[in-house]
A and B are shown apart, each in its own frame.
Chain A
Amino acid sequence: MDPVLKAENLSVEYLSKKGYVHALDDISLEIGKGETVGIVGETGSGKSTLAKAILGILPLGARVGGNLLLRETDLTRLRGEPLRRIRGRDIALIFQDPMTRLNPLMTIEDHFLETIKAHESVSDREAHERTVRALTSMRVPESRIRNYPHEFSGGMRQRIMIALAVVLRPSLLVADEPTTSLDVIVEAQILEILEDLKKVSGMSLLLITHNLGIVSEICDRVLVLYAGKMAELGPVGDIFARPIHPYTRLLLKSVIHLETKELYSIDGTPPDLIDPPSGCRFHPRCPYAQTVCSEKVPPFQEFRPGQPASCLFGKDFLDQDNAA
């Protein structure tokens, strides 16, 4: 099946006062139709940079390498109007904090009319009808269509954001920490809505989060990023049950959940991406690191079908697993 989006050797560098920040390095990923892919990582892992690169909203001066293919179009080569036509219609984005993305001076209906009319030439009447349909499907009553963003609760605003993002039926929805500012119950409600939406529309979802619980609840596949590089990719079941990369293992171990009996944390802090560690970028924090880990950059290779990882000792970990 043709992927909806395909990243090939994607890299992003920002210029900062101290030099170039290697925010993303050599990312290759395919997102299939109707698939939910989770991107997990700590602060500075490059997960939000990936979202921005896909949407073409990187800050000025960012250097992008590699390709980002939406069907035949390479998004990294597009600028201005052609990119604007794709954004919103084919790829849509929802953010962590809906309040900062909705215009406080515009009614909810105006947001929708603006979006619809920017991409399609439809009558006012049809645009209005589509707005009502999109909102009621997110359980926002029609009577509130002319309210302003501040008149809604946090969960309602996030539902409005989702409705606004999908009103043009995009093939890919990128959700950057969509529930981080919400409480657990509302978070669970929003996740349920996203799942229902996917079932109905068949769109693909790229979910960026630091919350492994959410990933395990709704994702099909997971990409684990560490310091701008791919640490491991795989089906959600394998990643949680049989992770290969030490970082994935330790990250899973550090999650505090209801059955946690013992606390665990990874020593050290994520590295400075202006001058990232040599060899494997995780080696300074890795309890299994050998001398070779600081010398050789590990290739991103498959250890189980559909489960590549970038660890020089991946084979040993795999054998240990199989023996156990």
Chain B
Amino acid sequence: MPPSSPQAPAPLLEVRDLFVHFPVKMPFIQRLFSFNRLAVHAVDGVSFTLRPGEIFGLVGESGCGKTTVGRTILRLMQPTSGRIKFEGVDITRTKERRLRPLRKRMQIIFQDPHASLNPAMTIGHAIGHPLKIHGLASGDKDVRARVLSIMQEVGLTPAEQLYSKYPSDLSGGQKQRAVIARAIILVPKLIVADEPVAMLDMSIRAKILELLLNLKRKFDLTYIFITHDLATAKFVCDRIAIMYLGRIVEVGPVDRIFSDPKHPYTRALLKAIPIPDPRRRGPKTLPKGEVPDAVHPPAGCRFHPRCPAVLATCGWEGRDFIDYLEERRLNPEKVQRDEEVLGPLDEWWAKGFRAGRKIGKHDPAQLIEHVRRILTEAQPQMNQAVRDVSVRDRQITVEFHHPDPLSPKEVEGRLVECLLY
């Protein structure tokens, strides 16, 4: 059902162009002299809409910004810009005092149940704590009764006995049940579940997931389910957003995305998952390298330096050329000639779409010729993206074309941000 259809219920949460940047800590002197403040681009333009009653997955590798999105939605972190609307009310800049009543309606479950429970608080006290904070109970007796009933609900039994235990007396699964109980005792509308089973043993993960699904039906909850585990996301979620370096690259219904992933990153992720069936072993084509630094995200599509389906227009830039030079030095046949003509790698610089170095006493014509030659040995898409190789003022410069503009496109029932479509 497309979001614009008239039967669609009002969204529970709307996130528009959310940016969350964290300043990079620098020594005072350095800060005085640097013009641009460096920032980690944790979330860099994320938009999505959450319908009541759905389980929406935010899926991606570490550092993709999924946790930051989850926490910013609850205003546990401050957005740099963008808009967050909860039940139609803009909460992007709401003051803490006025946010508090809303907090009853949105709760979070963290990954590490041990770290989310105060070791000096009994389980019963911890679960009942939100009732006291929000002044929702008429007395200690009332709190106790409601805590015991919610403990039954989450399977923390025998509740009477566990009520006065401390977190250290409980197993990992039981602790996570306590954390869940604390989150739902206020009967919230929205729960952000941040890797709720990642720390648990395989044999008990299913129990906790089942509990979350049952509670959702019973209390009419809506979940944002944050995970790096695609298999869990597939089982649990209705819709998922695949995130990469602060952006959503593909978002849509779970069955569509898993049966026919469109973004090359989604495809790579799905292929990389180890399959628990030794008969289906085989070589995999994996994207090279790792997730780059979020302080300087790649130009154009952020996945382009690793993408197996990359185009010439995806955002090739100066540092891709230097990475390529570095890659060549791993090849014993090429290393010697490259070192002779191109010199040590640390004399090369990259800035935006250009890379270069001072040529010293080298013959400019020979240098240009060598650079052009090695470009023909690179990925053809990189070579096609080169705008010019030139020598000016004793500097050799390799310059790339600017990338084509990128925006999410509707492809077979989901949104994909990729120039292939």
Is B278 a contact partner of A240 (Cβ separation < 8 A)? yes
- Chain A, 229-248, contact with B by CB distance < 8 Å: what is the 0/1 string? 00000001100110000000
A258 and B270 form a contact (CB under 8 A)? yes
Most buried by A among B203, B279, B344: B203
Q: Which residues of A contact B209 (CB under 8 A)?
A: 256, 263
B309 to chain A, nearest CB (A): 15
Residue B160 CB within 8 A of the other chain: no
Q: Which residues of B contact A42 (CB under 8 A)?
A: 201-203
The 8 Å CB contact of B330, one of A141, A187, A215, A240, is A141
- A181 closest partner in B (C-beta): B62
Q: Which residues of chain A come closer than 8 Å to B62, judged between CB atoms? A: 183
* Interface residues as binary, A151-166 with B (CB distance below 8 Å gives 1, 0 otherwise): 0011110000000000
CB contact list, A248-286 vs B, under 8 A: 250-252, 254-258, 260, 263-266, 269-270
Cα distance, A212 to B332, chains bound together (Å): 38
| A258 with B210: CB separation less than 8 A | no
Could you tell me the dominant secondary structure of chain A's interface residues? helix
Residues of A within 8 A of B345 (CB): 141, 143
A47 to chain B, nearest CB (A): 12
Knowing A155-B290, A216-B274, A258-B234, the reply to whether A185 touches B61 (Cβ < 8 A) is: yes
Query: Is the pair A251, B330 in contact by a Cβ cutoff of 8 Å?
Result: no
- Complex Cα distance, B63 from A155, in Å, reads 14
B37 within 8 Å of A by Cβ? no
Q: Judge whether A263 and B290 touch: CB under 8 Å.
A: no
The reply to whether A255 and B210 form a contact with Cβ atoms under 8 Å apart is no
Q: Is A15 part of the contact surface with B, judged by Cβ < 8 Å?
A: no
Question: CB within 8 Å of A: which of B172-222?
Answer: 172-173, 201-207, 209-210
Cα–Cα, bound, A84→B109 (Å): 46
Tell me if A254 and B205 are in contact (CB < 8 A): yes
Q: Is B286's CB within 8 Å of the partner chain A? A: yes
CB of A185 within 8 A of CB of B330, answer: no
Contact assessment for B286 and A265 in the assembled complex, using a CB-CB cutoff below 8 Å: no
Residue from A187, A254, A256 within 8 A of B231 (CB atoms): A256
- Given contacts A185-B61, A217-B281, are A257 and B330 in contact (CB under 8 A)? no
Q: How far is the CB of B386 from chain A (nearest CB, A)?
A: 23
**Do B272 and A211 touch (CB < 8 A)?**
no
Distance from A143 Cβ to chain B, minimum over Cβ atoms (Å): 5
Tally of A interface residues using CB under 8 Å: 47
Which residue from chain B places its CB closest to the CB of A45 in the assembled complex?
Answer: B201
- Asked if A269 and B204 sit within 8 Å, CB to CB, the answer is yes
Task: Flag B292-334 by CB within 8 Å of A: 1 or 0 each.
Answer: 0000000000000000000000000000000000110110100
Using Cβ atoms and an 8 Å threshold, which residues of chain A touch B283? 192
Whether A251 touches B290, Cβ cut-off 8 Å, given contacts A187-B272, A257-B275, is: no
The answer to whether B284 has its CB under 8 Å from any CB of chain A is yes
Report the nearest B residue to A154, measured CB to CB: B290
Interface membership of B42, Cβ < 8 A: no
User: What's the minimum C-beta distance from A288 to chain B, rounded to whole angstroms?
Assistant: 16
CA distance A187 to B281 in the complex (A): 15
Structural contact, B274 and A254, CB atoms closer than 8 A: no
Q: Which of A186-202 contact B (CB under 8 A)?
A: 186-189, 191-192
A213 near B274: Cβ-Cβ < 8 Å: yes
- Whether A254 pairs with B272 at a CB distance below 8 angstroms is no
Q: How far is the CB of B348 from chain A (nearest CB, A)?
A: 11
The chain A residue sitting closest to B63, CB to CB, is A183
Determine whether the beta carbon of B269 is less than 8 Å from that of A257: no
| Chain B residue, CB-CB nearest to A285 | B203
Asked whether A183 lies within 8 Å of B205 as measured between CB atoms, the reply is no
A139: Cβ under 8 A from any B Cβ: yes
B331-364 interface code vs A (CB 8 A; 1 in, 0 out): 0100000000000111000000000000000000
| With A136-B330, A155-B290, A216-B277: A185-B203 Cβ-Cβ less than 8 Å | no
Known: A184-B61, A189-B286; 17 extra A-B contacts, CB below 8 A, are: A136-B332, A141-B327, A141-B345, A184-B228, A185-B269, A191-B274, A212-B202, A217-B275, A236-B278, A240-B276, A256-B205, A258-B273, A258-B275, A260-B231, A265-B206, A269-B173, A270-B201
Q: List 27 A-B contacts (CB under 8 A).
A: A42-B201, A42-B203, A43-B201, A143-B326, A143-B329, A154-B290, A184-B61, A186-B290, A187-B272, A187-B274, A192-B284, A192-B286, A210-B201, A213-B274, A214-B274, A216-B274, A254-B205, A256-B205, A256-B209, A256-B229, A256-B231, A257-B231, A258-B230, A258-B273, A258-B275, A266-B204, A269-B171
Which residues of B does A touch, CB under 8 Å?
61-62, 171-173, 201-207, 209-210, 228-232, 234-235, 258, 268-270, 272-279, 281, 283-284, 286-287, 290-291, 326-327, 329-330, 332, 344-346
